[in-house]
């Protein structure tokens, strides 16, 4: 396998590489061996991913001299809880894991967040590696060191920053995703175009059919460009004190939708798509964004089979959940609002304005 040049994320002592290539999932053992890792290895995954890729990952690790322990947790956002983290702790303690041992997160964003949070908190911090298997995880959740679990009143309210040793991304594994799961993840790809790179957004528009149909060459480019954008943003703001906040575009309302639907009815990417369109409509209403840019965004999301309107939820409930979001500062709700494709602004939005806006949705473009 010809190895492409890695994307390097320069964070001083927390620096690491993001490797993106077909067949990466088989290279975990070799990469650990190359970095002279000699400890125990535990693979955190769920039954679905274990069935698809567990044998390949174990084989690669064993060929490099490791004896991996596999810890399975149930699939789904509703299991992203402290109770499940406790179960992982129990297995690690029973197997005498030490500070120099390592976890591998094999799965989507939920697995990555939970394995990362476990690594951040077990013995006050042990190393871990990300091996993402969904679009959302490959372009977003696996990069940047955000880890955490959900609380009944909100998403990711409990967490820690803990950077992985490396990220090993294999675009070919996306072929085994259910179609809805794959398309859902494309919302995060669209996000990067809106917040940072108009040329990339245009590329997505021009190649939307091929990307929707999982043309691996074009999808690989989307993953590479999205990962590079996120790496650039995280390098300049590791702890989300400034620029990194723009990555929350679409997530303020999107997380509220996920919370109010019990993390069951709406996929994360679908909620983000709804949230992006709502934020853009709010931006149009506030006079920051031209309607033409909103229309382009809606058209691209719909070309990827993604929703553009919120589900039938009470506007007061949405506002209440947003008010409890971890991104709220001083009781004020902040939004990432586009000014044009490729440029956004972070703004405090008055709750009275938000209440009226949410009651009026959906509105004509």
| Residue in 230, 267, 281, 296 annotated catalytic | 230
| Residue in 31, 155, 162, 268 annotated catalytic | 268
| Residue in 205, 232, 240, 345 annotated catalytic | 240
Q: Which residues contact 168 (CB under 8 A, 6 or more apart)?
A: 19, 24, 25, 27, 28, 31, 129, 130, 131
Please give the span between the terminal C-alpha atoms of the chain, in angstroms, as a whole number.
Answer: 47
Q: Is 191 considered catalytic here?
A: no
Q: Is 58 considered catalytic here?
A: no
| Residue in 24, 188, 224, 258 annotated catalytic | 188
Q: Is 244 considered catalytic here?
A: yes
Q: How confident is the model at residue 3 (pLDDT cuts 50, 70, 90)?
A: low
Distance (Å, whole) CA 119 – CA 14: 14
Q: Give the residue-averaged pLDDT of 334-359.
A: 94
What ranges in 243-347 are assigned the alpha helix state H?
251-260, 268-285, 291-303, 315-323
CA 215 to chain centre: 21
Is the pLDDT reported for residue 2 higher than 90? no
Domains, the chain, with CATH or none = 7-176 (3.40.50.1970), 179-360 (1.20.1090.10)
Q: Is 151 considered catalytic here?
A: no
| Residue in 31, 248, 270, 281 annotated catalytic | 248
pLDDT in tens, 264-284: 899 999 999 999 999 999 999
In the sheet that holds 166-169, the strands lie side by side as 7-9, 16-20, 166-169, 128-132, 102-107, 41-45, 69-72
pLDDT in tens, 56-115: 999 999 999 999 999 999 999 999 999 999 999 999 999 999 999 999 999 999 999 999
| Residue in 31, 80, 165, 244 annotated catalytic | 244
Q: How confident is the model at residue 305 (pLDDT cuts 50, 70, 90)?
A: very high
Phi (first) and psi of residue 133, to 5 degrees:
-120, 5
Q: Is 155 considered catalytic here?
A: no
């Amino acid at each position: 396998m010809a190895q492409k040049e890695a994307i390097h994320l320069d964070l001083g002592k927390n620096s690491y590489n993001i490797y993106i290539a077909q067949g990466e999932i088989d290279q975990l053992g070799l990469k650990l061996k190359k970095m002279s890792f000699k400890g125990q290895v535990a693979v955190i995954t769920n039954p679905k991913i274990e069935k698809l890729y567990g044998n390949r990952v174990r084989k690669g690790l064993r060929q490099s001299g490791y004896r991996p322990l596999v810890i399975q947790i149930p699939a789904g956002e509703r299991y992203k809880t402290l109770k499940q983290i406790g179960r992982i702790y129990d297995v690690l303690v029973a197997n005498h894991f030490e500070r120099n041992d390592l976890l591998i997160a094999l799965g989507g964003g939920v697995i990555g967040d939970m394995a990362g949070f476990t690594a951040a908190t077990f013995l006050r911090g042990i190393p871990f590696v990300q091996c993402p298997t969904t679009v959302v995880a490959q372009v977003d959740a696996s990069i940047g060191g955000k880890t955490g679990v959900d609380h009944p009143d909100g998403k990711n309210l409990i967490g820690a920053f803990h950077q992985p040793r490396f990220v090993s991304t294999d675009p070919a594994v996306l072929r085994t995703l259910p179609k809805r799961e794959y398309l859902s993840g494309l919302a995060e790809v669209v996000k990067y175009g809106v917040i940072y790179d108009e040329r990339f957004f245009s590329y997505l528009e021009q190649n939307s059919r091929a990307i929707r149909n999982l043309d691996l060459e074009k999808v690989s480019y989307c993953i590479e460009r999205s990962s590079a954008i996120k790496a650039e943003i995280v390098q300049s703001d590791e702890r989300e004190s400034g620029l990194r906040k723009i990555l929350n575009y679409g997530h303020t309302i999107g997380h509220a939708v996920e919370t109010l639907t019990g993390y069951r009815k709406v996929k994360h990417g679908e909620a983000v798509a709804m949230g992006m369109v709502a934020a853009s409509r709010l931006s149009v209403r506030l006079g920051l964004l031209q309607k033409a840019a909103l229309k382009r965004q809606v058209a691209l999301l719909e070309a990827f089979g993604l929703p553009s309107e919120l589900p039938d939820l009470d506007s007061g409930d949405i506002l209440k959940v947003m008010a409890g979001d971890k991104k709220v500062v001083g009781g004020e709700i902040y939004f990432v609002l586009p000014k044009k494709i490729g440029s956004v602004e972070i703004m405090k939005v008055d709750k009275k304005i938000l209440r009226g806006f949410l009651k009026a949705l959906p509105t004509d473009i």
